[in-house]
Amino acid sequence: GVEATRSIRQAEVGATRTMLEKAKDRFDLHPERLIAPLIDCFAINCRAADTAYGSGPMLGWLVDRKIAPHIPVIDKSDRQDGTWSRDDFEWDADNDQFICPEGHALKQFRRNYSDPNRGQTGKGRAKYRALKLTCQACPSKQQCCPNAEARTITREEHEDARQVARDIAKTKQYETSMKLRKKVEMLFAHLKRILGLRRLRLRGPNGANDEFLLAATAQNLRKLAKVFPAPQKPQSA
Ligand code: SF4
């Protein structure tokens, strides 16, 4: 399948969805897992990070459709200054709270609001806060939140799906997937080096789509020729 896009994340993610839907509609194919290759940006000859597919909405979309995301998660929660990052806090789903390394709860809400608009929505980003008094008296404050009165942690939208992807990344099958994706990357390299798609000749998204469709057809024919080689003519005596 081919779906040419501009080299922006939203378009690439949209193309992935379109290709999966096409595979379902045309061939009734439902993949068990999706392996994201490194993305090749043909126009300016660069390789974008392989995490473009690892955004929360994309992972949520895949997990909702029971497609296992073998994709590195986009995660900006790691801290570079040596203080504790979100991974050091335990998520307690039953009580909708994080537990800090000192055993205290970080909550989104600490009282029941009579106005439902002010309460928990279950959607979007959510902020969880520790109690100011607890943090002020905590022996680990320097390690946790040296510049704030109390520790705050953000839980991203689609965090459950992001956790699914993180858990998959620790499995043997994920290691296999990372090896398999090299096969796809070889096809990209072949497109650029052998089929000359370093630059496109046709303009606009439709032109790009036409060129990629022809190139992918050529690649498939080449593969077919390898799988089913032409019968050899018998040598004349
Ligand atoms: S500073 Fe606050 S959030 Fe951090 S470990 Fe101490 S009590 Fe927990």
- The tens-digit pLDDT sequence of the chain (237 residues) is 888 887 777 777 788 888 888 988 999 988 899 887 655 444 434 444 455 678 888 888 899 999 999 988 877 777 778 889 888 899 898 888 999 999 999 998 877 666 656 555 555 678 899 999 999 999 999 999 998 999 999 888 888 898 899 889 989 999 999 888 888 888 888 888 888 888 888 888 889 889 989 998 998 998 899 888 877 777 765
Question: Taking a C-beta distance cutoff of 8 angstroms, is the pair 67, 33 a contact?
Answer: yes
C-alpha 49: how far from chain center:
11
Determine the pLDDT at residue 41.
47
Q: How many CB atoms neighbour CB 223 within 10 A? A: 11
Which of 127, 131, 135, 143 best tests ligand 1's pocket when mutated (most atoms within 8 Å of CB)?
135
Helices (H), the chain: 9-27, 56-64, 132-136, 141-144, 159-168, 172-193, 204-227
Residue 168 backbone dihedrals phi, psi, to 5 degrees: -65, -35
Determine the pLDDT at residue 39.
52
Distance 120 CA to ligand 1 centre (A): 23
In ligand 1, the atom with minimum distance to the C-alpha of 139 is 6
β-partners of residue 33 are: 68
Q: Looking at residue 39, what DSSP letter applies? A: E
Determine the pLDDT at residue 102.
95
144 in contact with ligand 1, CB cutoff 6 A: yes
Determine the pLDDT at residue 175.
92
